Amino acid sequence: MSLPPKSSRPDRNGVGGMSPDVDAWRGMLHDALVELDAIPLGGTGHDADYTGWARQLDLGFLTLTDVGSDPVRVVRAPRMLVGNQDDFYLLSIAQENSFSLNGNMRSPLRRGDAVLLDSTAPFQLSANEFAHHLVLTLPRADVARVMPVSGERIGRRIAAENPVLRVLRATVAEICAGGARFEPDLLPELGHTLRELLFSVLRSDELTGQAGVAEVNGLLGHHAQLLRMRDFIQRHLAEPDLSSKAVAAAFGVSVRYVELVFRESGTSPARYIRRTRMEEARRSLANPRQRQRSIAAIARSVGVENPTVFARMFRHFHDITPSEYRRSQTGQSRRSGAMEDPPPP
């Protein structure tokens, strides 16, 4: 891998940055991922020419961590599991050739391959040349609610040619390159998309082992449909009768098909519509330019005509009533305004 000079690699919008040596890099791994030992290969890792970084972006539903180092072996040792509070799955996408070791399973990882790791079990990742991985981390409980993960899947290489993994890689690359271009409110939405894609990658890997590429391509088609249906829902939020039936009619498919497409993303059409409505309402209530709009008007703008139903639904999703949320945002806006410099005379 040909690396540009350190000065030309600006830190992205997130936690972390460049590391002066492998000891500091080891600490970065602990803060960003889980406790790991970092053993440099072919050198001490303490010379002035050492290159390493760890940058993490919190996307709400999961975290995305970009980690790179001169040749190194990282180890999740058995001693690190004693009293362990970490309970995550880590999907590690190799940006350079490397190896993973999970139990007795040693998997060579080519550039673009991925491997699913478990924070509650020992594992190793190593690279004889520059080591570079993009790691998606999310709670094991989140995955378990959507799909079972067998022990055989942990540590098994997911090939770069997997079409759903290609989509995930492209999305991750766009987010990594985005940096400060993304508004903070957009990050959880990006995290939700990555989470759904990660589930699709795991399902497609299982299908590849069972039945081949045709089913994988079908799954990829479902994801494309999901994105189109979500866009339709966003554009029709103000319609009170928005439902699975309305989506099915718009796309010329059955209600059962719509429910299948959303179920593969870990939710249902009805829940996605409610959640999207409450997110849009939250943004409107926090917008200073909409401060004069009544809460009832904002409720109608997201398709909820009954103010009592709207208040109950908003509290279910945000643990606060609409009026309390608006007051809290108004107070923050005033405090922020008080700190600004006065306008010039």
Q: What is the three-class DSSP state of 214? A: helix
Q: Indicate if the pLDDT at residue 217 is higher than 50.
A: no
pLDDT in tens, 143-157: 888 888 888 889 989
CA–CA distance, 62 with 171 (Å, rounded to integer) = 14
Beta carbons of 14 and 57 less than 8 angstroms apart: yes
pLDDT in tens, 49-76: 899 999 999 998 899 999 999 999 999 9
Domain locations in the chain as residue ranges: 6-210, 272-337
pLDDT in tens, 244-279: 999 988 877 788 888 988 887 888 999 999 999 999
Q: Does domain 6-210 have CATH number 2.40.340.10?
A: no
CA–CA distance, 123 with 34 (Å, rounded to integer) = 12
Q: Indicate if the pLDDT at residue 280 is higher than 50.
A: yes
> Smallest Cα–Cα separation from 322: which of 305, 310, 332?
310
pLDDT at site 304: 95
Beta carbons of 317 and 275 less than 8 angstroms apart: yes
Q: Indicate if the pLDDT at residue 4 is higher than 60.
A: no
How many alpha carbons lie under 13 Å from residue 269 in its C-beta half-sphere?
A: 25
Q: Indicate the burial class of 5 (C-beta count within 10 angstroms; 0-12, 13-18, 19 or more).
A: exposed
Q: In this prediction, what percent of the chain has a pLDDT beyond 90? A: 48
- Calculate mean pLDDT across residues 176-187: 77
Distance from the first to the final alpha carbon of the chain:
56
Beta carbons of 69 and 130 less than 8 angstroms apart: yes
pLDDT in tens, 292-322: 889 999 999 999 999 999 999 999 999 999 9
pLDDT at site 319: 92
Buried b (16+ CB within 10 A) or exposed e, 107-138: bebeebbbbbbbbeebbbbbbeebbbbbbbbb
Q: H/E element holding 179?
A: none
Split at pLDDT 50, 70, 90, the class of 81 is very high
Split at pLDDT 50, 70, 90, the class of 2 is very low
Q: Which residues contact 160 (CB under 8 A, 6 or more apart)?
A: 110, 111, 112, 113, 114, 166, 169
